[in-house]
């Protein structure tokens, strides 16, 4: 990707510096919410399907991480992620890994061993390739759709995340609300102490996102967290959303 194909950008009130593609998918609120939802004593974090690294890097600005792996299949996005690591002064803890996270051999060849991370964050593709909601833009389609005509659920991503998580490690993901039944089914036998937090654009509107946190090997029961509302009726951020987007505030999960 050349200089002309990427533009400088900032998130988190200027704290997070990014180079993002001029065309295609660009990181924004979803990445910031995902980063804010990463919780617990996480020292070794893998951001799967990291794109330009926005979620993982945002988490690293808030948490005392010892290691951050930005895992991306697209080499051009991985190169931007590598540049963004340097832009944010995180070279000492962060690296990029170019691999197909859904393929065990590819993961291992890239240095992502099983049972090696105490935290995984991810925003899996939302639709199966070929579904009519997938963007015609190749960059957005890659971010939002799984390759092939198979199962459009996130089960392959949950399998990959569970494989590289240590027992007791935490998975955090953001996704569409209508995928929640499939996500919960994919958690069975892999994750427990699962908590789901609905995200609403405005009061009285249906949730537009869900955040989910689960613990590998836990047998604690499912919990539904209080919802997060992003905007007031006048369109301004709520106080909580403002703190997340501007001040590196964490999303609080139920105890």
Residues 79-114 pLDDT 10s:
999 999 999 999 999 999 999 999 999 999 999 999
Overall CATH class of domain 3-247? alpha beta
**pLDDT at res. 209:** 97
Quote the mean pLDDT of the chain: 89
**pLDDT at res. 128:** 56
**pLDDT at res. 40:** 82
Nearest to 54 by CA among 98, 105, 110, 94: 94
More confident residue, 183 or 138: 183
Residues 127-177 pLDDT 10s:
654 444 444 444 444 444 443 333 456 999 999 999 999 999 999 999 999
Beta-sheet strands, E only, within the chain? 6-11, 16-21, 44-48, 67-72, 94-98, 117-122, 127-128, 145-146, 165-175, 191-200, 207-216, 223-224, 228-229
Exposure string over 132-149, b if 16+ CB within 10 A, otherwise e: eebeeeebbbbbbbbeee
């Amino acid at each position: 990707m050349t200089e002309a194909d990427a533009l400088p950008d900032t998130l988190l009130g200027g704290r997070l510096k990014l180079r993002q593609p001029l065309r295609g998918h660009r990181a924004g609120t979803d990445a910031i919410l995902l980063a804010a939802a990463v919780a617990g004593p996480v020292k070794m974090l893998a951001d799967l399907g990291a794109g330009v690294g926005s979620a993982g890097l945002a988490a690293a600005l808030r948490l005392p991480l010892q290691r951050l792996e930005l895992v991306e299949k697209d080499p051009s996005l991985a190169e931007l992620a590598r540049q963004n690591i340097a832009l944010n002064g995180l070279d000492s803890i962060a690296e990029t890994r170019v691999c197909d996270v859904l393929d065990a051999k590819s993961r291992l060849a890239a240095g992502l061993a099983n049972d090696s991370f105490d935290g995984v964050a991810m925003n899996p593709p939302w639709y199966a390739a070929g579904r009519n909601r997938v963007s015609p833009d190749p960059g957005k389609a890659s971010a939002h759709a799984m390759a092939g005509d198979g199962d459009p659920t996130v089960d392959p991503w949950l399998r990959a995340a569970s494989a590289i998580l240590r027992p007791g490690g935490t998975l955090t993901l953001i996704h569409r609300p209508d995928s929640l039944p499939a996500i919960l089914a994919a958690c069975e036998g892999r994750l427990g102490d699962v908590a789901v937090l609905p995200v609403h654009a405005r009061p009285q509107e249906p949730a537009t996102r869900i955040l989910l946190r689960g613990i590998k090997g836990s047998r604690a029961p499912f919990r539904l967290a209080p919802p997060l509302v992003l905007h007031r009726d006048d369109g301004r951020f709520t106080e909580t959303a403002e703190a997340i987007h501007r001040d590196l505030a964490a999303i609080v999960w139920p105890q």
